[in-house]
């Protein structure tokens, strides 16, 4: 019986870790850099950036020739620290299960939409400044 309780406790402990672990973004000392060629149409790519002992998670998505980036958080559910998951062409809030089509994220408004993270395309790179990443620290 004790071993069953121990196994259940371990499963509960690990299942409560609601934030997935994403690979660290390439950082050139001033900015996060994402290779444009690594982005597929309407499929987000998730990254992490370490700052002040916190892990700031975000994703980058391409829609046609446009590229945009968002914090892996929303203004309504960020306190739960769960972020989004990608499912069948949409971003789904892990806290409330609301869906947002990837190809229309830029047009969305509302509390549960992913929080926009400014970035710019520079040739074959998509660049996000350290300052813009730091502005989202409060969500993590």
Mean pLDDT for the chain overall: 87
- pLDDT at position 111: 75
Q: pTM (2 decimals)?
A: 0.84
- pLDDT at position 21: 94
Higher pLDDT: 6 or 53? It is: 53
Residues 35-43 have a mean pLDDT of 95
pLDDT above 90 for 33: yes
pLDDT band at 55 (very low <50, low <70, confident <90, very high): very high
pLDDT above 80 for 14: no
pLDDT above 80 for 9: no
- Could you tell me the two tokens for 67? 């590229």
Tally of CA atoms within 13 A in the half-sphere of 17 that contains its CB: 6
- Could you tell me the two tokens for 34? 């994402």
The CA-based angle 4-5-7, given to 5 degrees, is 65
Nearest to 83 by CA among 70, 102, 68: 70
Pick the CATH number of 20-139 from 3.30.1490.100, 2.102.10.10, 2.40.37.10, 3.40.47.40: 2.102.10.10
SS3 of the chain: the string is CHHHHHHHHHHHHHHCCCCCCCCECEECCCEEEEEHHHCEECECEEEEEEECCEEEEEEEEEECCEEEEEEEEECCCHHHCCCEEEECCEEEECCCCCEEEHHHHHHCCCCCCEEEECCEEECCEEEEEHHHHHHCHHHC
pLDDT above 90 for 73: yes
pLDDT above 60 for 1: no
Roughly how many angstroms between the first and final C-alpha of the chain, as a whole number?
Answer: 38
């Amino acid at each position: 019986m004790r071993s069953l309780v121990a196994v259940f406790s371990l499963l509960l402990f690990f299942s409560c870790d609601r934030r997935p672990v994403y690979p660290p973004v390439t950082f050139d000392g001033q900015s996060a850099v994402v290779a444009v060629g690594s982005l597929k149409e309407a499929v987000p790519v998730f990254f992490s950036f370490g700052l002040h002992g916190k892990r700031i998670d975000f994703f980058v998505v391409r829609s046609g020739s446009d590229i945009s980036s968002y914090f892996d958080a929303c203004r309504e559910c960020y306190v739960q620290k769960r972020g989004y998951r990608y499912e069948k062409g949409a971003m789904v809030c892990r806290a409330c299960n609301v869906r947002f089509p990837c190809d229309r994220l830029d047009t969305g408004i509302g509390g549960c939409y992913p929080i926009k993270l400014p970035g710019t395309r520079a040739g074959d790179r998509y660049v996000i400044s350290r300052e813009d990443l730091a502005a989202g620290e409060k969500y993590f």
